[in-house]
């Protein structure tokens, strides 16, 4: 792989570490901790959150009419998303073991934690977890597709305009036939190391 590209990827990893450190600092500042998947706020923060919670009645009454009319369309999207969720589970349960590709952990992508925020009323909490589910599902699907692509066709796009997923930097350059043939099996082996990267 290109040495300069490796340097840039190392810089990105260092920045990601800085982001995690800053998020941890903010966690302490906002007086909460995460324990066994649950968010636990200190009592003083819970009391402060209660003061900021808006009334469910006024939240609905003050909502623009078009927001209320579009709500059924938004909530109806749960049906195809649940079908997609099921299809992704079936797909990777059947296909990934055949090719030796480690399965994507759904819990690493679909995180529902906003219902712990007491400054949101019940409808706001439902809406927030609804959005978290959809975005997490999209992330989960993208990682399943990325691993499939790394196994089947690990070639970068010619234009460079395509949205990059987590594995795209591993792929061989567009038009480099020699690298494709030489590195295909290596890229497939790298996928098997993904499981140890996750733990």
Residue, of 179 and 72, whose pLDDT is higher: 72
CA gap 106, 136 in Å, rounded: 8
Phi, psi of 31 (to 5 degrees): 55, 55
**CA-closest candidate to residue 105, choices 128, 88, 121:** 88
* Tokens of residue 159, six digits: 């234009």
Q: Would you state the torsion angle of the CA atoms of residues 56, 58, 70, 65, taken in this order, to the nearest 10 degrees?
A: 170
Q: What is the pLDDT of residue 194?
A: 74
Angstrom distance (rounded) from CA 155 to CA 151: 10
pLDDT band at 199 (very low <50, low <70, confident <90, very high): very low
**Is 195's pLDDT higher than 70?**
no
Q: Is the pLDDT of residue 1 over 80?
A: no
Q: How far apart are CA 194 and CA 96, in angstroms?
A: 13
pLDDT at 88 over 90: yes
**Distance between CA atoms of residues 124 and 67, nearest Å:** 13
Reference 100, options 164, 166, 150; nearest CA is: 150
User: What is the reported pTM?
Assistant: 0.78
């Amino acid at each position: 792989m290109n040495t300069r590209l490796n340097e840039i990827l190392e810089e990105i990893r260092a920045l990601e570490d800085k982001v995690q450190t800053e998020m941890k600092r903010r966690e302490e500042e906002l007086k909460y901790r995460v324990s066994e998947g649950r968010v636990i706020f200190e009592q003083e923060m819970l009391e402060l959150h209660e003061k900021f919670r808006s009334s469910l009645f006024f939240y609905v009454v003050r909502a623009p009419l078009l927001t209320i009319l579009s709500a059924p369309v938004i909530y109806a999207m749960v049906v195809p998303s649940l079908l997609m969720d099921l299809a992704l589970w079936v797909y990777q349960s059947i296909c990934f073991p055949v090719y030796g590709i480690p399965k994507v952990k759904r819990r690493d992508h679909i995180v529902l934690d906003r219902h712990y925020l007491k400054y949101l009323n019940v409808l706001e909490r439902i809406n927030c977890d609804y959005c978290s589910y959809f975005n997490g599902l999209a992330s989960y699907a993208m990682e399943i597709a990325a691993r499939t692509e790394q196994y089947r066709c690990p070639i970068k796009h010619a234009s460079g305009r395509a949205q990059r997923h987590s594995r795209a930097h591993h792929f061989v350059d567009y038009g480099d036939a020699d690298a494709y043939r030489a590195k295909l099996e290596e890229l497939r082996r790298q996928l098997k190391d993904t499981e140890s990267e996750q733990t």
